[in-house]
Structure formats: C-alpha cells, structure tokens
Amino acid sequence: MIVTIRFFSVLREAFGAGVAEVELEDGTTGKDLIALLADNNDTFASLKDVVRLAVNDEYVENAELLKDGDDIAIITPVSGG
C-alpha cells in the first residue's frame, strides 16, 4: 500500500521534504510506521515518543491500522508563549 506522509517543523528539515509517499506492507499500524521512521532518521528517533499521528485529518491512536491512500500528518509537540 502507498501512504502520503506530511512532515512539519523540525521533521521537515530532518527528512528534507514536507511530503513523502511511502510504500508499506498491508497491516501496518501507526506504531509500526513510527518505528520504521525512527530506524531511518536520528532526529525522528529522538521525538518518536512524543509525536502524534493524524490520518486523513483525524488524530488517531498509534495502534490504528493504516490503509492504502491514507494521508498521514506527523505532529510534533508545540510550545509558545
């Protein structure tokens, strides 16, 4: 299956793009995707425990099964003053 991943903030810089299409195996969960990205990017690995996933504009739990064509936003923590 093919999914679209949208990176924001520091992750956009870490991956060198704001958007990437990734081929995943059927049955991949959000947790699996996070682990895959962490294995391939040190910056992401340092944030993997605090990112949230939004699939098709809805926040989801990491156990959510991903589907072909999903649009996945990886949200990093934000702070402000």
Task: Please write the tens of the pLDDT for every residue from 18-33.
Answer: 999 999 999 999 999 9
- On whether residue 22 sits in a domain, the answer given is yes
Predicted local distance difference test score (pLDDT) of residue 74: 96
Structure tokens at 2: 């093919």
- On whether residue 54 sits in a domain, the answer given is yes
Give the confidence band of 81 by pLDDT, cuts at 50, 70, 90: low
**CATH for 38:** 3.10.20.30
Number of domains in the chain: 1
- On whether residue 23 sits in a domain, the answer given is yes
Cα 24 → chain centroid: 12
- Which domain covers residue 37, as residue numbers? 2-75
Predicted local distance difference test score (pLDDT) of residue 71: 98
Pairing label, strands 71-75, 2-7: parallel
- On whether residue 80 sits in a domain, the answer given is no
- On whether residue 81 sits in a domain, the answer given is no
